[in-house]
Amino acid sequence: MVNYTDYFSASYEVARRTFRNAVKAVDGELSAYLHPDARGAHGEKLTIDVGHIGRIDAPRQLIMISGTHGLEGFAGSALQIGWLKQLSARALNDEVGVLLIHGLNPYGFSHGSRTTVNGVDLNRNFIDHTAVPVTNALYAQLHPYLLPQWWDDNYRSACDIGIMDFRLKYGDDVYFNTFAGGQYLYPQGTCFGGFSREWESLTLERVVRTAVGHAERVAVIDWHTGIGEYGKPFYLNFGSADSEAQQHTAGWWGLDTGTGSRPHGRAQPRYQGLVFQGIESFLPQAIVAGGVIEFGTRGSVAGDLAIRQDLWLRNYGHRLSEDTRTQMHADLLDSLNPVSYQWREQVLTLGLPIIDATLDGLARWQA
């Protein structure tokens, strides 16, 4: 049994301190990268904290990331801390190292938002921004209905009708691809990937190239929350179809490679600018396997709503009274970081064995 109160933290500051102490306790290599501009919700400094465990020059490396989508970082942080605290009971294979990226989006982690200080969805930011912008052809039609002018029943109902008309016209799979795939023209819109690389994106490139640039085989677990059944893991295997990386990941995570995962029962979007895709580009000499692992919270409708709610609070939250804004933000936090002890214990009970299975598979992965 695991006790979630030993691993889940109440704030970004506590999570950061607990993570750093856990890395030190196992004699890991520890570093921190200070955000040059932003401050936390309580005025604290914001850092991406990095721990490297095991053989630094090992040919196989696991990269485990928390906080890509800011407030979703509490679960990923708990899993990183839980794994570190239980590490002394296991022997880490000599051929494997583990690179832990804690709080990749520290601003969102501290302020309770999915996006960076610039309002960018970091998990859509890893594209070549000097090239012609990637198109999301239908997004312009959907955008007007995603952020109502006021977060009340009348405005939301009108927007919901527009969204439903779009879904009836194009189908649910096209809707989800348009909503979630990534877009680069509407800064206030969903899954906005930015006009340029974010500081977090550039820092991750620096860390990955420096720490594991030598590796031949790399596994990635980027922890998220929101998609899937309540408290259950949902896997997004980002290896290319029928590739060695995809096959290995499927074996580690117990997946069927013959069928793609369907987030909330919908076709997987053609995601653009993923962290995973960025890591692949940073390590051209390595085979990179893995992807995103989500833990389900409130389901599809609530998941889409949480993304819109986050954006609305960022852009229009000043229109609300302080009490209403506080309540709305508390609901947003609970939608992606549930306070339920059953959910938190399930995340740990089901998530920690996934890390072990990935490490075992990585150790057996021969060139």
CATH number at residue 268: 3.40.630
Task: Answer yes or no: are the C-beta atoms of 77 and 102 closer than 8 Å.
Answer: yes
Please tell me the pTM assigned to this model: 0.96
Residue 219 forms part of a structural domain: yes
Domain range enclosing 291 = 4-131+211-364
Strand pairing class (287-296; 217-230): parallel
Residue 38 forms part of a structural domain: yes
Residue 247 forms part of a structural domain: yes
Length of the chain: 367
Q: Return the sign of the alpha-carbon dihedral for residues 120, 116, 68, 172.
A: negative
For the chain, how many structural domains are there in total? 1
Q: What is the pLDDT of residues 75-93, one digit of tens each?
A: 999 999 999 999 865 678 8
Residue 114 forms part of a structural domain: yes
Q: Is the pLDDT score of 182 beyond 90? A: yes
If phi over 0 gives left and psi between -120 and 50 gives alpha, with beta otherwise, what is residue 70?
left
Task: Answer yes or no: are the C-beta atoms of 156 and 145 closer than 8 Å.
Answer: no
Q: Which amino acid is at 37?
A: D
Q: What is the pLDDT of residues 42-74, one digit of tens each?
A: 999 999 999 999 999 999 999 999 999 999 999
Residue 216 forms part of a structural domain: yes
Give the pLDDT confidence score for residue 87 in this predicted structure: 86
- Report how far residue 70's alpha carbon sits from residue 161's, in angstroms, rounded to the nearest whole number: 30
Residue 146 forms part of a structural domain: no
- Report how far residue 162's alpha carbon sits from residue 141's, in angstroms, rounded to the nearest whole number: 9
Residue 343 forms part of a structural domain: yes
Q: What is the pLDDT of residues 261-282, one digit of tens each?
A: 788 788 899 999 999 999 999 9
Q: Is the pLDDT score of 309 beyond 60? A: yes
Residue 70 forms part of a structural domain: yes
Give the pLDDT confidence score for residue 59 in this predicted structure: 95
1: confidence class by pLDDT, cuts 50, 70, 90: low
Buried b / exposed e across 18-39, counting CB within 10 Å, b at 16+?
bbbebbeeeebebeebebeebe
